[in-house]
């Protein structure tokens, strides 16, 4: 049985880039954000900075804070049967952590990607995602995700990678972490 790793971080911290680097190493990645984007599409809504957060909050209100984790867990468990590592990109709440940890511990770890707010805001402005908006929308999103327990997840993560430099530096840091992590879990 493989090891599940969930990556968390505030908006614009580099979770997606971290996931891309991990995927480039042949590790399957499942994105919780993609689940919200799919739900927006399923509901026939037009993407904008408000709608993604509203749909995520609506899902949590209707089905519980852990809804996305529950929906994703079986797929990750199946992948763990044939892969030594499976990455979950975008864990945002303590309820999600509880689902993952109770299901897979001790074969579950978390990684936090960190960067200061100004760096993160500038990244959101340059990446062109529909869920990103102006500074006010950025602050609304920050507060919403903090309300789900994201700060706690970051503080309590098993590993932290600071990402305030270049993408090339993140590639080096991520690959270094992955090399060490593979040794730890083997």
- Write down the domain spans for the chain: 3-185
Handedness of CA 47, 29, 92, 11 (dihedral sign): negative
Q: 97, 44, 47: which is closest to 68 by C-alpha?
A: 97
Task: For the chain, give the percent of residues with pLDDT over 90.
Answer: 89
| Rounded (5°) CA angle 109-112-115 | 170
Predicted local distance difference test score (pLDDT) of residue 127: 86
Question: Would you state the structure tokens that stand for residue 22, as one six-digit string?
Answer: 């991990």
CA distances from 57 to 53, 63, 64, 74, 147 (A): 6, 10, 10, 22, 11
Per the CB < 8 A criterion, the answer to whether 72 and 35 are in contact is yes
State the CATH class of domain 3-185.
Answer: alpha beta
pLDDT tens-digit series, residues 57-104: 999 999 999 999 999 999 999 999 999 999 999 999 999 999 999 999
Question: Would you state the structure tokens that stand for residue 4, as one six-digit string?
Answer: 């599940």
Whole-model pTM?
Answer: 0.93
pLDDT of 130 over the 80 cut: no
């Amino acid at each position: 049985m493989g090891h599940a790793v969930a990556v968390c971080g505030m908006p614009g911290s580099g979770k997606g880039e971290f996931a891309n680097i991990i995927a480039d190493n042949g590790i399957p990645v499942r994105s919780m954000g993609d689940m919200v984007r799919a739900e927006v599409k399923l509901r026939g809504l037009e993407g904008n900075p408000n709608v993604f957060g509203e749909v995520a909050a609506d899902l949590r209100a209707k089905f519980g804070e852990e809804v996305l984790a529950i929906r994703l867990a079986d797929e990750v468990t199946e992948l763990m049967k044939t892969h030594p590592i499976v990455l979950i990109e975008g864990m945002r709440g303590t309820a999600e952590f509880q689902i993952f940890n109770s299901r897979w511990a001790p074969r579950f770890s978390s990684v936090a990607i960190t960067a200061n707010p100004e760096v993160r805001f500038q990244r959101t402005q340059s990446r062109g995602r529909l869920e990103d908006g102006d500074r006010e929308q950025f602050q609304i999103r920050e507060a919403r995700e903090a309300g789900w327990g994201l700060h706690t997840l970051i503080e309590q993560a098993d590993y932290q990678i600071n990402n305030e430099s270049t993408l090339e530096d993140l590639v080096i840091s991520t690959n270094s972490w992955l090399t060490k992590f593979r040794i730890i879990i083997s």
